[in-house]
Amino acid sequence: MSKPRTLFEKVWDAHLVRPETPETPAVLYIDLHLIHEVTSPQAFTELRQRGLRVRRPDKTLGTMDHSTPTTPRNHLGIIPVIDPMAISQLEQLRKNCAEFGIPLFELGDENQGIVHVIGPEQGLTQPGMTIVCGDSHTSTHGAFGALAFGIGTSEVGHVLATQCLLQRKPKTCAVRIDGRLGPGVTAKDIILALIAKYGVGGGTGYVFEYMGEAIRSLSMEERMTICNMSIEGGARAGMVAPDDTTFEYIAGRPFAPKGADFEAAVARWRTLPTDEGAVFDHELTLSASELKPMITYGTNPGMGIPIDAPVPRPEDMPDARSRAALDKALAYMGLEPGKPLLGHPVDVVFIGSCTNSRLSDLRQAAQFFRGRKVAPGVRVMVVPGSQQVKRAAEAEGLDRIFKEAGAEWREAGCSACLGMNDDKVPPGKYAVSTSNRNFEGRQGPGARTMLASPLTAAATAVTGVVTDPRTLMN
């Protein structure tokens, strides 16, 4: 009998071109490399300077998402880009993909979208694969039982040229989430609670495997929300063992195997889950049944509280360093310690990003907009994760619900998640955002971000103040 292995170990072992030694890291083969306009141009420059080609354009796919505007199409059906630097970056990606034979979902394409939304929706993301992208939220794809992580631009060049990466084997961490979520509590609340409990550095050096009753009962889109924010917990990758929910999601998607090939793939995928008796280096736990909707009050994703809790007070912190960090965060956020966030006025609500911009997120949000109006003075941006999500939402009439309520229904992209395109939160203004980072200035210089679920964001949009979504549910 061979030694019991974890899901991660099985995927890792199957991709070793060369195992690691004390002197050299492992050479790890990459099955899918996703690229976008921001972190790839310098890698292509490097390739040209060295006279190298892209080894496997057929394992590479480009999309445009970060610096793209999400303004509605003009009368010609074109999304106008006006920022000259964004234009040059997008042009560069188009040129690089054309020159090296890499397929590209460019702005305006019916498949364009946020890189971590399109991989799964196209059926490109499959169990047991290795997937990388010059973007830290590549961890999203781990929801399918793939080993997926973000890389830097030098490494983007490595993968373009060799389809491989040099990697030291990370440690494994089981993240056990038992119980069932109560009404109004979502996958986003699970991951915000986990990071609040263990901190933003708690997963450094580890690959998370999420398991337990709560995870099993989640849909693929919900699992993606959780894996997406593994990096906010410090873990470069987060994985969920594939099961029938996974296989059903993949079946019939454009790049999924078909017919007998699909059956054969499923048989292979069924061998991936962690073996009985396999050992993890570390374990974290959380009980889903006790969770409430979560919201962040500070300037890193670990600074989160249940929505009805008061903002922590510096004097209650265990040591001087965390006191200083809290002081700094509250000064930036303009929040008073000891006071509840509930009822705090907000200026902007952003529903979007690779964490929460899929169809199920938009459906959840829409339920609070239906028959209601956006509160006066609040700007609400609803940004689908991809053109496909946008079309699917429109087919159900979700766009009309948002627009009739007074929210903006925009084109697909990263939008206000990162303050790189035109969608920003103004200085000093408060935003409730379904994205993943509340860092200082993340959504624009001086922007004050509170991270929450689509339900909490939508409830807040229609009341104008931080609102517990459970109070709007009947």
Partner 1 sequence: MEPISTITGKAVVLPVENIDTDQIIPARFLKVTDKSGLAAGLFEAWRYLPDGTPNPDFPLNRPEAAGATILISGRNFGCGSSREHAPWALQDYGFRAVLAPSFADIFRSNALKIGLLPVTIEQAIYDELVAMYANDPQMALTIDLAAQTVTLPDGRQVGFPIDAFSKYCLLHGVDQLGFLLNQADAIAAYEASHPQPVKTTG
Residue 354, contacted partner among ligand SF4, partner 1, none, CB below 5-8 A by kind: ligand SF4
Helix (H, G, I), strand (E, B) or coil at 419: coil
Least distance between partner 1 and beta carbon 197 (Å): 16
Least distance between partner 1 and beta carbon 202 (Å): 10
Binding residues for [4Fe-4S] cluster: 354, 414, 417
For partner 1, the closer of residues 1 and 85 by Cβ is: 85
Residues facing residue 283 across a β-bridge: 174
17: phi then psi, degrees, rounded to nearest 5:
-75, -40
Residue 353, contacted partner among ligand SF4, partner 1, none, CB below 5-8 A by kind: ligand SF4
For ligand SF4, the closer of residues 138 and 456 by Cβ is: 138
For partner 1, the closer of residues 137 and 410 by Cβ is: 137
**Under the rule (CB under 6 A), what is the footprint of ligand SF4?**
65-66, 114, 116, 135, 137, 353-354, 414, 417-418, 435-436
CA distances (Å), origin 148, targets 208, 259, 329, 431: 11, 26, 31, 30
Least distance between ligand SF4 and beta carbon 79 (Å): 16
Residue 103, contacted partner among partner 1, ligand SF4, none, CB below 5-8 A by kind: partner 1
Residue 166, contacted partner among ligand SF4, partner 1, none, CB below 5-8 A by kind: partner 1
Cα gap 193→293, rounded to integer Å? 9
DSSP summary character for residue 341:
S
For ligand SF4, the closer of residues 414 and 466 by Cβ is: 414
For partner 1, the closer of residues 307 and 451 by Cβ is: 451
**Which among 342, 348, 351, 305 has a CA at the least distance from the CA of 454?**
351
CA distances (Å), origin 114, targets 107, 117, 147, 419: 11, 5, 19, 15
Cα gap 236→263, rounded to integer Å? 31
Cα gap 435→112, rounded to integer Å? 19
Binding residues: 354, 414, 417
Helix (H, G, I), strand (E, B) or coil at 30: coil
Least distance between partner 1 and beta carbon 81 (Å): 11
Give the position of tokens 């069932």.
180
Residue 273, contacted partner among ligand SF4, partner 1, none, CB below 5-8 A by kind: none
